[in-house]
Every structure is written in C-alpha cells, then in structure tokens.
C-alpha cells in the first residue's frame, strides 16, 4: 500500500477485545480514531515522515 496515493485509509484496532476504527486522511496528514463506546481522538501530526510504509 502506498498511503499517499489514497485520500482516506481505514483500519481497525483491537485493544483488550474492544474494537475501534482508525481513519487516516493521508493528504491532510491527519488521523481519527473512532470508539463506538464513546470518545473520538483526533491526531494532527506528520505521518509517513521518515518511515517506509
């Protein structure tokens, strides 16, 4: 997968038998984690900076 070739990437996170949805807006370098039991975390930081994906 080449993240910068897609506007939106979706992924799932499972922590302690609890599922969350991760939404990555690669062109905006922004991510969003949606928790169905409450809470939304928005992260604004440089993604894919020096990492090879």
Q: Which residues contact 27 (CB under 8 A, 6 or more apart)?
A: 4, 7
The reported pLDDT for the residue numbered 38 is 77
* Selection from 28, 22, 23 nearest residue 44 by Cα: 28
Q: Is the pTM of this model over 0.75?
A: no
Is it the case that residue 5 has pLDDT exceeding 80?
yes
Q: For residues 17 and 32, give the distance between their C-alpha atoms in angstroms, rounded to a whole number.
A: 20
> Where are the chain's structural domains?
3-43
Start-to-end C-alpha separation, the chain: 7
* 13-41 pLDDT, tens digit each: 998 888 999 999 988 888 888 888 876 66
């Amino acid at each position: 997968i080449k993240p910068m070739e897609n506007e939106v990437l979706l992924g799932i996170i499972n922590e302690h038998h609890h599922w969350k949805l991760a939404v990555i807006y690669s062109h905006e370098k922004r991510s969003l984690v949606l928790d169905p039991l409450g809470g939304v975390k928005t992260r604004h930081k440089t993604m894919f900076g020096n990492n090879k994906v």
